[in-house]
């Protein structure tokens, strides 16, 4: 039997095949391939519908949890809003519920207006823009067919994306390098637009069509150009992510790269043209006419077929797929042979990149600036101390007393600390005052540091950073150091970059500063902290603009944080609520106190562990239909997200339900309970089809749900139907889990524990 | 790759006071980030964002 191919998780969907600009460096219209001439201008509805079906079936077959689709062209906005809306709707409808759709559009910006921004906001489409720098740089290539500049239109488009209303849609800027442009002028022009991320693209070229190398510019003009930008970027404190640099920093420290153009990671991208044909990669257009073609289309071929295509496989073969020169090169793990298309010569791609000398100089230059970065890790268990057999048995039954949950929390703290170290180790920073302060406080004031690092969303940020999310900036490291300095109160100071107009102190709160302030020096003194902003103002916790994380006091001296300020709380798969006003906070306080009392009284066997591990409730936005919504984020141990429900008992149920996910997630961080490669789907609890991991989570959460209704049914007859309903479904789902054939020995132990818990409820009512 | 390996420590203020159960941040940061991330594979598997974004023409 043929093994399944590596899944394709990124699709470039061409919704229009023509462009309203005539950029002379465009690979679509100006290079070797001429396939665009014969294609429909706009993607048709039949192609769109079939493409969505293909993507959906691929997601189901491979159990994908996320798919990225980039609407592209030509110029995608030429397709018009109706086509874009239709594409978004078809794609969302075709994907299984458990698979996130990361939908983006990449545009030249000329037609991006307020109406499009409204549409993208409604459909959740993020926007990338092409811009080559200042006007002189941009005008060098990016002009209309009649020679007019496109620069003013692009600036207007970026201006829209920078408005607070649309800022969340602003994905970043793509800049094609031209060494004739002044690198610092280009950098400054891009930086002024405050992009969250910038990608510098080497102009597509091959050995047969080599890149321009101006006389007197040296042997490595592209590396020199990028290193000049890097110097300024570092001096400015890295105000935005630069994928080219981040990718090299990561690969130098052993992490995967972030781009097909750098690193050895297998590609997982396919291009879908307006006529429904699949192509391998746009960049191949630069090699020869027909180079990207696969001979396949959405009507006759699945994405698995494309994934098995020799051209796709060639770009997935890592080190083994490179020529001997590259395989022997000391920087091959960072370079990866460069972009596949750039290796073309004499009918094959079995050569180093035409940019080989530049890539080597760039990587060596960045490595030298970063200092030593790699050192073998000793065999420490980064997951911290192990749990006892008794504690695992408690957790397997769906419960887990305070000691078991505290052991999970210690393990989580150890994981967060390791992630933080990996973040710093892969940052490419030769020195970091924030990191050095954090490390010093870790030695001198461990309680202060542990308090900050136990904040649920610290790990959420670190995980985003490690998985290459350009939105997870290194500024958070300074925020963590500042929070620790404030808690330590020794007089330590650290400079913290302002993010979205606020100074964020994780676990403590935020100081809203507004536009104009870029950096704040935070000092943690014995009698409180101060914040010196770079506009000269001095403030502190007495400032009315300071919004502390508020805590709700419960009986027995327990407290629960209501987190409504940390930007990292967006880890939940549902929009978070903005800062609560006093009235709403009072409602939350009342309901949380009532829910806590109810849990203590009705569900003590679950509540004991819950209070040992639940530190934070993050208010979510209510659903438009007012149905309950709640969330546990795998990367945020100790937190649950909830839109405040109508009643305190419902809040209690949601707390218990979500904390089950929190516990199981922490177990899964240390141990495998099931075969993660199993792609079969299950339909527990009348839910949509979902993979084994979701079945496991659903069973675990519903053990608490069954107990909740079973306990209430003892005193409230109206709870009886819900008890019997959830008990029956849980009983059935436990069987599904136990007989799935996908469990590890420990997974079987958990399934057996769940069976015992459900059987106890079955016996009691019998 | 070896030429980018530095066997020396990253300079940090203060000293290490970690224990086996709680290695100091300063000590953890001297370790190979890639290997650390590899040991965190179970914990990072649920991050939801894939680690590679091999897209050459958009962000």
Q: Give rounded-to-5 percent helix, strand, coil for chain B.
A: 35, 0, 65
Mean pLDDT of A545-551: 98
- The rounded distance, in Å, linking the Cα atoms of A24 and A332 is 32
Distances (CA, A) of A633 to A637, A656, A757: 7, 15, 25
- Give the mean pLDDT of A231-255: 92
Contact yes or no for A426/A263 (Cβ under 8 A): no
Q: At what angle do helices A648-668 and A604-613 cross, to 10 degrees?
A: 60
pLDDT of residue A374: 55
- CB nearest A66 (choices: B3, B15, B48): B48
CA dist., res. A102 & res. A70, Å (int): 8
Distance CA A94, CA A301 (A): 17
Q: Do A425 and B31 touch (CB under 8 A)?
A: yes
Does residue A98 surpass a pLDDT of 80?
Answer: no
What does pLDDT average to over chain B? 58
Nearest residue of chain A to residue B31 (CA atoms): A377
* Length of chain A measured in residues: 766
Cβ–Cβ < 8 Å for A152, A108: no
Q: Is A442 on the interface with B (CB under 8 A)?
A: yes
Mean pLDDT of A507-514: 95
Pick the closest to residue A436 from B25, B54, B33, B47 (CA basis).
B25
Mean pLDDT highest for which of A306-310, A476-480, A555-559?
Answer: A476-480
Nearest CA in chain A to B8: A372
pLDDT at position B5 over 50: no
Average pLDDT, chain A: 92
| B33 interfacial to chain A (CB closer than 8 Å) | yes
Chain B residues in contact with A417 by the CB 8 A cut-off are 22-23, 25, 28
Sign of the torsion angle spanned by Cα atoms A450, B24, A401, A734? positive
Q: Tokens 């008992």 map to which residue?
A: A649
- Nearest-Cα distance to chain B for A308, in Å, is 18
The verdict on A490 touching B (C-beta cutoff 8 Å) is no
The least confident of A253-262, A451-460, B3-12 is B3-12
Count of positions (residues) in chain B: 59
Check residue A359 and give its pLDDT.
97
Report chain B's terminal Cα–Cα distance, integer Å. 28
Looking at the complex, does the CB of residue A33 fall below 8 Å from at least one CB of chain B? no
Identify the band that residue B32 occupies on the pLDDT scale cut at 50, 70 and 90.
confident
Closest CB to A9: pick one of B34, B37, B50.
B50
Nearest residue of chain A to residue B52 (CA atoms): A258
Asked if B43 and A419 come within 8 Å (Cβ–Cβ), the reply is yes
From chain A, the residues in CB contact with B12 under 8 A are 435-436, 439-440
Of A377, A442, A668, the CB nearest to B32: A377
B10 touches chain A (CB under 8 A): yes
Kindly provide the ipTM of the predicted complex, given to two decimals: 0.77
* Residues β-bridged to residue A143: A149
For residues A485-490, give the mean pLDDT: 98
Q: Which of A158-172, A461-475, B44-58 has the lowest mean pLDDT?
A: B44-58
Residues 406-435 of A with CB under 8 A from B: 410, 414-415, 417-426, 431, 435
The answer to whether A419 contacts B32, with C-beta atoms less than 8 Å apart, is no
Q: Quick one: closest CA in A to B49, which residue?
A: A467
Residue A97: predicted pLDDT: 78
- CB pair distance less than 8 Å for B36 and A422: yes
Chain A, chain B: beta-carbon pairs less than 8 Å apart? 247
Whole-angstrom Cα distance, residue A594 to residue B12?
48
- Mark yes or no for CB contact A443/B17 under 8 Å: yes
Question: Is B41 at the interface with chain A, CB within 8 A?
Answer: no
DSSP β-bridge partners for residue A271 = A12, A279
Is residue A251 helix, strand or coil? helix
Q: Which chain A residues are closer than 8 Å to B40 by Cβ?
A: 382, 415, 418-419, 422, 466
Assess whether pLDDT exceeds 90 at residue A719. yes
| DSSP string computed for A467-528 | TT-TTS-THHHHHHHHHHHHHHTS-EEEEEE-BTTEEEETTTEEEE--TT--EEEEEEETTE
Give pLDDT tens digits for A512-543.
Answer: 998 889 999 999 999 999 999 999 999 999 99
Residue A494's DSSP bridge partners are: A522
Among B4, B15, B51, select the one facing A374 at the smallest CB separation: B4
Burial of A235 by CB count in 10 Å (0-12 exposed, 13-18 middle, 19+ buried)? Answer: exposed
Residue A121 in tokens: 């906001």
| Span of A231-235, A573-577, A703-707, A748-752 with lowest mean pLDDT | A573-577
Nearest to B46 among A258, A267, A665 (CB): A665
The verdict on a CB contact (< 8 Å) between A372 and B14 is no
- Please give the C-alpha separations between residue A117 and each of A124, A150, A199, in angstroms, as whole numbers: 10, 19, 22
A148: Cβ contacts below 8 Å, ≥ 6 apart:
none
A379 CB near a chain B CB, below 8 Å? Answer: no
* C-beta atoms of A635 and B46 within 8 A: yes
Residues of A within 8 A of B47 (CB-CB) are: 463-464, 466-467, 634-635
By the CB < 8 Å criterion, does B11 face chain A?
Answer: yes
- The C-alpha atoms of residue A162 and residue A114 are separated, in whole angstroms, by 12
Per-residue pLDDT at B18:
63
Q: What pTM value is reported for the model? A: 0.86
Q: For residues A750 and A752, what is the distance between their CA atoms, to the nearest angstrom? A: 5
Tokens of A658: 């979500």
DSSP B53: -
What DSSP string runs through A409-422? HHHHHHHHHHHHHH
Nearest-CB residue to B37 (from A385, A422, A440): A422
Region of poorest pLDDT, from A45-59, A122-136, A638-652, B1-15: B1-15
Rg of chain A (C-alpha set): 27
> Would you say residue B54 has pLDDT above 70?
no
CB of A677 less than 8 A from some CB of B: no
| Digit-coded pLDDT (tens) for A655-688 | 999 999 999 999 999 999 999 888 788 888 888 7
Burial A653-672 (b: 16+ CB within 10 A, else e): bbbbbbbbbbbbbbbbbbbe
Please tell me which residue of chain A has the smallest CA distance to B20. Answer: A380
* Bridge partners of residue A519, in order along the sequence: A497
Of all residues in chain A, the percent with pLDDT exceeding 90 is: 75
Confidence category of residue B15, pLDDT binned at 50, 70, 90: very low
R_g of chain B, CA atoms, integer Å? 16
> Taking a contact as any Cβ pair under 8 Å apart, which residues of chain A between 48 and 107 contact chain B?
65-66, 68, 70, 72, 100, 104, 106
Question: How many angstroms separate the CA atoms of B54 and A281, rounded?
Answer: 10
Check residue B58 and give its pLDDT: 38
Between positions 337 and 366 of A, the ones with CB within 8 A of B are: 339
For the packed helices A243-252 and A221-235, what is the interaxial angle rounded to 10 degrees? 90
Residues of A in contact with B19 (CB under 8 A): none
Distance from CA of A724 to the nearest CA of B (A): 33
What integer pLDDT is reported at residue A754 of this predicted model?
98
Residue A461: which residues within 8 A CB-CB, separation 6 or more? Answer: A472, A476, A568
Cβ-based neighbours of A617, under 8 Å, separated by 6 or more: A560, A561, A562, A563, A588, A592, A639, A640, A641, A642, A655
pLDDT in tens, A102-118: 999 999 999 999 999 99
Spatial separation of the C-alpha atoms in residues A578 and B34, rounded to whole Å: 36
**Contact: B52, A243; criterion CB under 8 Å:** no
Q: Which of A408, A246, A374, A414 is nearest to B25 (CA)?
A: A414
Which residue is closest to B6 within chain A, CA to CA? A372
Judge whether A648 is closer than 8 Å to chain B, CB to CB.
Answer: no
Chain centre distance of CA A654? 25
**In chain A, which residues have their Cβ closer than 8 Å to the Cβ of B21?**
384-385, 410, 414
Option in B5, B10, B57 nearest A201 (CB) = B57
The residue of A23, A173, A375 whose CB has the most chain B CBs within 10 angstroms, and thus the best one to mutate to test that interface, is: A375
- Burial classification of residue A521, based on how many CB atoms lie within 10 Å of its CB (0-12 exposed, 13-18 middle, 19 or more buried): middle
Q: Which residues of A touch B41 (CB under 8 A)?
A: none
Interfacial A residues in 567-626 facing B (CB < 8 Å): none
Q: CB-based contact (8 Å) between A30 and chain B?
A: no
Contacts of A333 by beta carbon, 8 Å cutoff, 6+ apart: A251, A263, A264, A319, B1
Which residue spans within A273-401 are E strands per DSSP? 277-279, 293-297
CA atoms of A284 and A340, how far apart (whole Å): 8
Nearest to A444 among B14, B20, B33 (CB): B14
Res. A307 pLDDT band, cuts 50 70 90: very high
Q: At A378, is the pLDDT very low, low, confident or very high (cuts 50, 70, 90)? A: low
CA atoms within 13 A on the CB side of A243: 34
Minimal-distance CA residue of chain B relative to A11: B55
Residue A530, helix vs strand vs coil: strand
Any chain A CB within 8 A of the CB of B2?
yes
C-alpha B6/C-alpha A264 separation (Å) is 22
């Amino acid at each position: 039997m043929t093994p399944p191919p590596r899944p394709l998780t990124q699709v470039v969907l061409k919704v229009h095949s023509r462009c309203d600009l005539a950029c002379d460096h465009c690979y679509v219209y100006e290079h070797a391939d001429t396939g665009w001439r014969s294609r429909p201008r706009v993607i048709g509805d039949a192609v769109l519908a079939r493409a969505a079906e293909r993507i959906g079936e691929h997601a189901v077959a491979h159990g994908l949890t996320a798919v990225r689709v980039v609407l592209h062209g030509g110029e995608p906005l030429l397709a018009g809003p109706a086509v874009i809306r239709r594409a978004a709707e078809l794609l969302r409808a075709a994907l299984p519920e458990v698979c996130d759709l990361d939908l983006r559009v990449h545009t030249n910006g000329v037609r991006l207006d307020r109406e499009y921004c409204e549409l993208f906001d409604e459909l959740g489409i993020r926007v990338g823009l092409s811009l080559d720098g200042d006007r002189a740089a941009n005008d060098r290539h990016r002009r209309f067919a009649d020679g007019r500049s496109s620069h003013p239109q692009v600036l207007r488009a970026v201006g829209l994306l920078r408005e607070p209303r649309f800022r969340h849609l602003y994905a970043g800027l793509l800049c094609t390098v031209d060494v004739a442009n002044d690198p610092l002028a280009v950098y400054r022009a891009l930086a002024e637009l405050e992009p969250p991320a910038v990608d510098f693209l080497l102009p597509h070229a091959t050995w047969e069509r080599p890149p321009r190398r101006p006389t007197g510019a040296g042997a490595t003009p592209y590396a020199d150009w990028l290193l000049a930008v890097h110097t300024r970027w570092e001096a400015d404190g890295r105000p935005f992510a630069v994928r080219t640099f981040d990718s090299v920093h990561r690969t130098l420290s052993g992490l995967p790269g972030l781009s097909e153009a750098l690193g050895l990671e297998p590609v997982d991208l396919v291009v879908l043209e307006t006529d429904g044909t699949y192509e391998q990669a746009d960049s191949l257009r630069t090699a020869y006419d027909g180079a990207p073609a696969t001979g396949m289309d959405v009507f006759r071929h699945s994405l698995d077929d494309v994934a098995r295509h020799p051209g796709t496989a060639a770009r997935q073969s890592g080190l083994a797929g490179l020529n001997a020169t590259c395989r022997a090169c000391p920087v091959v793990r960072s370079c990866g042979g460069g972009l596949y298309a750039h290796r073309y010569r004499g009918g094959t791609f079995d050569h180093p990149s035409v940019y080989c000398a530049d890539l080597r100089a760039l990587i060596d230059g960045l490595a030298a600036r970063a200092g030593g970065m790699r050192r073998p890790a000793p065999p420490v268990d980064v997951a911290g101390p192990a749990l006892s057999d008794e504690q695992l048995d408690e957790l397997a039954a769906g419960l887990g007393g305070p000691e078991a949950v505290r052991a999970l929390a210690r393990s989580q703290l150890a994981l967060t600390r390791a992630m933080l170290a990996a973040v710093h180790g892969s940052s490419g920073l030769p020195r970091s005052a924030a990191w050095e302060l954090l490390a010093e406080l870790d030695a001198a004031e461990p309680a202060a540091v542990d308090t900050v690092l136990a904040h649920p969303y610290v790990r959420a940020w670190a995980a985003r950073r490690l998985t290459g999310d350009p939105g997870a900036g290194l500024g958070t490291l300074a925020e963590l150091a500042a929070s620790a300095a404030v808690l330590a109160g020794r007089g330590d100071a650290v400079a913290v970059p302002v993010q979205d107009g606020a100074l964020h102190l994780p676990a403590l709160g935020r100081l809203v500063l507004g536009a104009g302030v870029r950096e704040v020096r935070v000092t943690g003194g014995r009698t409180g902290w101060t914040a010196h902003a770079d506009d000269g103002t001095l403030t502190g916790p007495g400032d009315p603009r300071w919004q502390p994380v508020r805590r709700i006091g419960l009986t027995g001296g327990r407290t629960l944080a209501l987190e409504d300020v940390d930007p990292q709380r967006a880890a939940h798969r549902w929009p978070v609520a903005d800062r609560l006003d006093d009235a709403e906070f009072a409602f939350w306080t009342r309901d949380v106190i009532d829910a806590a009392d109810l849990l203590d009284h009705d569900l003590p066997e679950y509540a004991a562990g819950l209070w040992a591990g639940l530190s934070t409730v993050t208010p979510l936005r209510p659903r438009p239909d007012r149905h309950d919504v709640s969330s546990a984020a795998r990367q945020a141990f100790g937190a649950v997200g909830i839109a405040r429900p109508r009643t305190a008992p419902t809040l209690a149920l949601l707390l218990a339900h979500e904390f089950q996910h929190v516990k199981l997630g922490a177990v899964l961080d240390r141990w495998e309970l099931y075969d993660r490669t199993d792609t079969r789907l299950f339909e527990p609890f009348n839910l949509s089809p979902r993979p084994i991991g979701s079945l496991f989570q659903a069973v675990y959460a519903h053990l608490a749900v069954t107990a909740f209704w079973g306990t209430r049914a003892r005193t409230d007859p109206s709870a009886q139907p819900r008890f019997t309903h959830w008990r029956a479904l849980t009983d059935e789902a436990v069987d599904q889990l136990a007989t799935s054939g996908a469990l590890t020995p420990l997974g079987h132990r958990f399934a057996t524990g769940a069976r015992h818990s459900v059987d106890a409820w079955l016996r009691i009512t019998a | 790759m070896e030429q980018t390996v530095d066997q020396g420590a990253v300079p940090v203020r203060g000293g290490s006071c970690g224990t086996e159960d709680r290695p100091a941040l300063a000590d953890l940061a001297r370790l190979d980030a890639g290997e650390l991330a590899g040991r965190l594979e179970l914990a990072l598997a649920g991050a939801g964002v894939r680690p590679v974004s091999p897209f050459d023409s958009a962000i």
